[in-house]
Every structure is written in C-alpha cells, then in structure tokens.
Amino acid sequence: MIKVEHLTKYYGDHLAVDDVSFEISKGHVYGFLGPNGAGKSTTMNIITGCLSATDGRVLIGGHDIFEEPDAAKRLIGYLPEHPPLYMNDSPLEYLRFVGEAKGLRGPELSARVSEVVEKTGIYNVRNRRIATLSKGYKQRVGIAQALLGSPKVIILDEPTVGLDPIQIIEIRDLIRELGKTHTVIFSSHILSEVQAICDQIIMIAKGKLVAFGTPEELQQKLLTPNEIILTTNAKDKDLQDIVSKVDYIADITTRTTDSNFTTAHIKSNHEDIYELSSSIFRAFTHSDKVIYEMSLKKGNLEDVFIELSENADAVVTPIESANDDSIESEVKSE
C-alpha cells in the first residue's frame, strides 16, 4: 500500500530523516513511534506530499507522491499534528469544502459528509463555529476531514496530544474502529498508546528507522537480556559454582548482605526465561543451598523504546515479519 524507499530529508544542514525505508501493507493499524523530534512528523509530511524529500521515493498504491501527486493523494486522508481547521467555518461547511476539493459533488458529497459526521460523532456540533469547539471535537473534525473521499490509508499525526483522558480514550476507540475498515498509520510518542492500538510498530529515533514489527516481535527480538533476581543462602563462590552448571548465563552480579543472604542478578540471553529459571532451580536442588526468593524480570517494550531511542546512532536492520528472511537484527554501536 505504502512503500517508502531510502527517504532522506535535510533542513539546511540538519538531517531530519535519515535513509528510512519501510513498506506498509493493507488493513492494519500501524503505530509510528518515536521520541519528540525523532522525525515522525517530517516523515508523515513527506508521505502525504506536504513536504519534499531531499532524497528517496514514496509510493502510495503504486503512485509516486512526487510524480503523480493527485492520484497518490486521493488514496490518503491526513490529519497533521495541528488540525488544519478554518476557525470561522462550521464543521459542516469545512467538510463540504474538503469533500469538494477531494472531488466529491452533489448528493454524493452530502452523503459522504453526513457519513463521516456520523462516524466521528460530531453531529451535535456540526453547525457551530469550529473556533468555539473543544479540543477533542476539533480533533474529531480533523479526523472527519481525513476520512472524506474514502481514502485507503488514513494518516494521523499525534491525534491524542493535548486531549484530556476521556477524549484520549474516545479517539483511541475511534482509531481502533477505523482500523477495521482502513489502513491506519498514527504517530505517537506514548508507548502504551501504540502498544494498545497497533498491530505493527514502526519505531523511529533521530531520523533513523530503528525497528519495525509487531509489539510481540519487538519485545522478543529487541529485548534487553532477561534478568533473574534471586536471593539465596549460598555464598558468592558457591553460587558461582552452582550457576556455572547452567547454560546461557551471560552475566552475574552478586551482593552479600551481613546476615548471609546473597542477592544475585543473573542476566541471560536465553530466549525462554522460564526454562532458564527451572534450570537454575534444578541446579540448586542438586546442591545443599536453598533459594529464598526468585523473581523474573522480563524486558518490556518500554525498555526497548528507551534503549533504541538512546542508541539511535546504532544501526538496526528492521525486523520485518516472523517468516521474513531479515529477522536477524544487527546492532553496531558506534
């Protein structure tokens, strides 16, 4: 549906988007995740034809956004970061204008406008001046505008920023609803939001694409090593002996407290942390030492996000999908 190839954008000397490539297929909700200033808006602006690229290509349904802007733009509905609303219009007037610009006429225009008014829940305010609407309603009018002309892809740039919690939930529900009928790409710097709504996550930091995959894949493949924290009566040296019988241990740090308790942080790159914990448990049963407490610390997406954002200078080949050839991720720290 959307194919982005080697997209690069310089603002003067500042590199905003650095050789980003990805492909988006039909019928998913894609989350475009990255910290503020990562290049999310710039990328979205380029995809929607609002901004030129320094280098690279964007294909929307096979149409190059720079070569055939009209055909490409017809396939997209876009809500920029600041909803582009004419404050003196009423939502109805505004939507009629956008509909006409998208080539709708006559009865079809009226029908489509009523349809999106219905869908976004702005029926009650349809004749008020947009300037007098609350932020949540303004955002809805913006989304309604993007929906007009039944585009194949809907792109929403930070649609929940600046809304109150109830409005955020409403907008999220709306996005989820839209995801059933459209391909939706929406950007956010809030991880939990993306995790909650999206089937696929595109992570971008410092202008680079750092990860691409389902939330579960990202969690699995890009995890910081799993960690097991255990407290035992074994002394440092005994502990080392016991644990040395277990495979896949990457690192172990211990701390002995005065009352003969030793707390160990065991890091591992074993994929299945539960299997590892059983191995450790069994290793202990063969010794005369006991485990008082054992807890598993699984890496979560939050950690991945923070780590990726911090190490954006490192190059990560994106994880495509599970059955793809390019699953391996390769991290080169500079």
Of 16-24, 87-95, 269-277, 321-329, the segment contacting other proteins by CB under 8 A is 87-95
> In this complex, which beta carbon is closest to other proteins, that of residue 93 or of residue 227?
93
Among residue numbers 235 through 274, which ones bind other proteins (CB under 8 A)?
none
Minimum distance from CB of 24 to other proteins (Å)? 17
Q: Which of 6, 23, 101, 255 binds other proteins (CB under 8 A)?
A: 101
Minimum distance from CB of 205 to other proteins (Å)? 24
> In this complex, which beta carbon is closest to other proteins, that of residue 45 or of residue 188?
45
Please tell me whether residue 92 binds other proteins under the rule CB under 8 A. Answer: no
Q: For 130, phi and psi rounded to 5 degrees? A: -60, -35
Q: Which amino acid is at 322?
A: A
> In this complex, which beta carbon is closest to other proteins, that of residue 72 or of residue 242?
72
Please tell me whether residue 321 binds other proteins under the rule CB under 8 A. Answer: no
Of 45-53, 221-229, 242-250, 252-260, the segment contacting other proteins by CB under 8 A is 45-53
> In this complex, which beta carbon is closest to other proteins, that of residue 50 or of residue 283?
50
Q: Which of 27, 37, 103, 162 binds other proteins (CB under 8 A)?
A: 103
Among residue numbers 121 through 160, which ones bind other proteins (CB under 8 A)?
145
- Stated as kind and residue range, the H or E segment containing 227 is strand 226-232
Q: Which of 23, 25, 55, 88 binds other proteins (CB under 8 A)?
A: 88
Q: What is the DSSP string of 16-82?
A: EEEEEEEEE-SS-EEEEE--TTSSHHHHHHHHTTSS--SEEEEEETTEETTTSHHHHHHTEEEE-SS
Q: Cα–Cα distance between 163 and 135 in angstroms, integer?
A: 7
* DSSP-derived secondary structure letter, 212: E
* DSSP-derived secondary structure letter, 290: -
> In this complex, which beta carbon is closest to other proteins, that of residue 90 or of residue 279?
90
By CB under 8 A, how many residues form the interface with other proteins? 31
Please tell me whether residue 161 binds other proteins under the rule CB under 8 A. Answer: no
Please tell me whether residue 120 binds other proteins under the rule CB under 8 A. Answer: no
Dihedral angle computed from the Cα positions of residues 199, 200, 203 and 208, in that order, rounded to the nearest 10 degrees: -160
Task: Report yes or no: 19 and 7 within 8 Å, Cβ to Cβ.
Answer: yes
The residues, any chain, with a CB within 8 Å of residue 102's CB and separated by 6 or more, are 74, 148, 149
| Tokens, residue 326 | 């390019």
Minimum distance from CB of 147 to other proteins (Å)? 13
Minimum distance from CB of 214 to other proteins (Å)? 28
**DSSP 3-state assignment of 260?**
coil
Minimum distance from CB of 97 to other proteins (Å)? 4
Q: Cα–Cα distance between 130 and 7 in angstroms, integer?
A: 36
> In this complex, which beta carbon is closest to other proteins, that of residue 50 or of residue 291?
50
> In this complex, which beta carbon is closest to other proteins, that of residue 9 or of residue 206?
9
Q: Which of 69, 121, 299, 318 binds other proteins (CB under 8 A)?
A: 69
Q: Cα–Cα distance between 314 and 312 in angstroms, integer?
A: 5
Q: Cα–Cα distance between 245 and 284 in angstroms, integer?
A: 10
Q: Which of 3, 15, 64, 97 binds other proteins (CB under 8 A)?
A: 97
Q: Cα–Cα distance between 91 and 80 in angstroms, integer?
A: 17
Please tell me whether residue 108 binds other proteins under the rule CB under 8 A. Answer: no
Q: CB burial class (10 A; 0-12, 13-18, 19+) of residue 89?
A: middle
Q: For 202, phi and psi rounded to 5 degrees? A: -110, 120
Chain residues in the site for other proteins (CB under 8 A):
11-12, 45, 48-52, 69-71, 73-74, 76, 78, 80, 82, 84-89, 93, 97-98, 100-103, 145
